[in-house]
Each structure stands twice: as C-alpha cells, then as structure tokens.
Amino acid sequence: MIRIAAMADVHFGTDAVGTLRPHLVRLAEQADLLLIAGDLTRVGDPAEATILVDELRDVRVPIVAVLGNHDYHTDRPAAVTNVLAGAGITVLEGNSISFDINGIRVGVAGVKGFGGGFPGATASDFGEPEMRAFVGHTKERAAHLESALRSLECDRRIALLHYAPVPETLQGEPVGIYPFLGSYLLAEAIDRVGADLVLHGHAHHGSEQGVTEGGVPVRNVAQPVLRRAYALFCFDGTDNRVPVELPSPPELAGWRYNAH
C-alpha cells in the first residue's frame, strides 16, 4: 500500500511562519510521500521558499514538488528551486522520480504546465509572436510531461502539475478565465501514455474531482479548494488501479490560508 499526501497553493510569504507546521504534525504517520503541486511561494522570492522549507522540516517523508506561476513571478525560479533542493525536496520540471514503497514502485512525473484552454475555447499558435509563444509554452510543457511519464517504469504513475488538464476541476471559477487555468493538451499527453492519478492546483475556486477522457482520475489539491492542509490518496497494490481517497485531517481551528 502506498499513501500519498498532496497539497498545492500554500503561497508562502515571509509573514507565513507557523501557519502550516501545526497542520502537518500527523502527516508522516498518515502518508509515505508528500506531493506539492505548485505555488509554494507568494511571489517567487527565495526568502519565502526558505521559510517554507523550515515549516516542512519535520515532515519526515520524501517531498516532491513542481513550481507554479507564483514561483516565477520575480524571475528567480532557479533560486527557489535551489532552496527547496537544498532542503532535500525534489523539484520536477519535465522529469520524473520513482520510489519503492512497501513493495510497490510509484513514479511521479512533474511539470508546471500552462494555460490555453479546453475544447470549444482554446488559444491557437497563430498570429503575433506573443500568442505563438503562449501556446508554444503549453505545447512544450505537455511534450515534456509526456516524455517524463514515458520514462517511468513503475507499478503506479502520478502526473504532478500546477495547471489543470481538464475543465471539471475548474468548476467554480469564471468560465472566461479557464484558458488561464489549464490546457487540454496536458490531458492529451497524459492519456497518450497512461497514468493512475493526476494532481494539480492553481484553480483556487475550482472543484476537487475530475477525470481525463482516458479515465485517469484528476484531483485539484489547491488548499483553498481542499479547505484543509492536504488530501490523502492510497494505492492498495491490488489490480484495482483506482486510487482510494483516505479521510484527511479536518480543517483545524486557527487555519489561515495564505491568500495572495
């Protein structure tokens, strides 16, 4: 059995000391792995990442993350990544990592992803260079996700994204901003290879559950959607490949989401 804790959009600022740590005290006994689906910092300041890694210091399970758009805001994603990596957190961007846990090999392919929308309302790579660059960025990230998933020879594969691959987990957000919240190209990449679970964040007012056309479960684990510190999933190691959702810690007194 593999138990996975997942969260996104913690948006740590330099004033966030102590806001997350009390909610993580049981994580290591509840989960074998912690996955963080982007927007770790408020504006991508390495000082914010430093505060976050200190907050995560007592989480004694492997931590894997992808960056989100907030982590790029001040053009220092490499510095943010270095702070996280220095604390032992694996930061994925177009690559993967795998773990042997309780006799099951689980792989995580990670990419930030990007926008572009969903069938019926998509951006196209035509016209101005800025527009072609926008869609080109999404296509590139989707291709990197696909190759990262293909590289995994595992019993279970997880795609870890920041942007959404399906519109279902955006429900609750204004439809007009869907193209800035995700892209169907990410789901197409996932379905071409196959996966067992997709985790993303970014859509703070979205919904928890979705599924790709290929039948892969998608979960939006943005903290403001979860209304708790993290969600818990379990692969039981049998032929039943569908991850079971475990009861997560309830919202605790004193919870303060780090809005931006």
Q: Does 147 bind Fe ion (CB under 5 A)?
A: no
Closest chain position to Fe ion (CB): 39
Contact, 177 vs 202, CB < 8 A? no
Q: Does 76 bind Fe ion (CB under 5 A)?
A: no
| Nearer of residues 11 and 23 to Fe ion, judged by Cβ | 11
Min dist. Cβ of residue 167 to Fe ion (A): 16
| Nearer of residues 63 and 66 to Fe ion, judged by Cβ | 66
Contact, 145 vs 190, CB < 8 A? yes
Q: What tokens does 255 get?
A: 């919870």
| Nearer of residues 2 and 91 to Fe ion, judged by Cβ | 91
Min dist. Cβ of residue 5 to Fe ion (A): 18
- CB hemisphere CA count around 52 (13 angstroms): 32
- Which of these ranges, 48-56, 106-114, 146-154, 196-204, lies near Fe ion under the rule CB under 5 A? 196-204
Residues 42-71 that bind Fe ion (CB under 5 A): 68-69
Q: How many residues does the chain have?
A: 260
Angle between helices 46-55 and 77-86 (to 10 degrees): 20
220's CB contacts (< 8 A; 6+ apart) are 8, 164, 169, 170, 200, 201, 203, 206, 207, 208, 209, 210
Min dist. Cβ of residue 202 to Fe ion (A): 4
Indicate which single residue of 9, 45, 173, 196 sits in contact with Fe ion (rule: CB under 5 A). 9
Min dist. Cβ of residue 84 to Fe ion (A): 16
Indicate which single residue of 12, 31, 39, 92 sits in contact with Fe ion (rule: CB under 5 A). 39
Indicate which single residue of 64, 202, 212, 232 sits in contact with Fe ion (rule: CB under 5 A). 202
Q: Tell the residue number behind the tokens 């959404």, with chain if given.
A: 164
Q: What tokens does 128 get?
A: 């101005």
Min dist. Cβ of residue 253 to Fe ion (A): 24
CA-to-CA distance for 96 and 150, rounded, in angstroms? Answer: 10
Considering CB under 5 A, how many residues would be counted as binding Fe ion?
5
| Nearer of residues 41 and 98 to Fe ion, judged by Cβ | 41
Contact, 220 vs 164, CB < 8 A? yes
CA-to-CA distance for 112 and 125, rounded, in angstroms? Answer: 19
Min dist. Cβ of residue 9 to Fe ion (A): 4
Residues in contact with Fe ion by CB under 5 A are 9, 39, 68-69, 202
